[in-house]
Structure 1
């Protein structure tokens, strides 16, 4: 009975470790992606979607697909922001 308890605890720990590693890998893969949808771009720069829309009105680059979907390049937005650095 004690062996079963230890084995169950070991399985829980291994499951938790595997889950944590997979979640971190997925988060890293998302972080490496350059082209993002509007809400994810806003979240990446820690701003609201309204602020991102305001930035676009002031010249921040965006990608508008024929379908109407709006995408953003993190690199292009970062470069645009750095152009205003003093």
Structure 2
């Protein structure tokens, strides 16, 4: 095997490793929990908890457990915000 072939094989292997690492990172990001507690949702959108509660009064989706604990889907809130933009 020539030096050029060896180098080409090495580059291909390194490319495949890098591609695999990127695919794994994207998979982890997409699997992160979308459902969050009230405070975490407010932090995600960089708003106060009171503003988040106002959004719910205006129709933003909220998940209430039997014990009354509120949870939110970041994706559902984002979609709601986009539908209500002026």
Which TM class, normalised by the smaller chain length? 0.5 to 0.7
- The answer as to 2:52 corresponding to 1:52 is yes
Aligned residues: 59
After superposition, the CA RMSD in angstroms is: 2.0
- Displacement of 1:85: 2.5
| Runs of 4+ residues over 6 Å off in structure 1 | none
- Displacement of 1:67: 1.2
SS of 2:59's equivalent in the other structure is coil
Structure label with greater radius of gyration: 2
Give the structure 1 partner of residue 39 of structure 2: 39
Q: Give the unaligned 5+ runs of structure 1.
A: 1-27
Q: Give the unaligned 5+ runs of structure 2.
A: 1-27
- The answer as to 2:63 corresponding to 1:67 is no
TM-score by length of 2: 0.62
TM-score by length of 1: 0.62
Write the distance in 2 (CA, Å) between the matches of 1:84 and 1:58: 10
SS of 2:66's equivalent in the other structure is coil
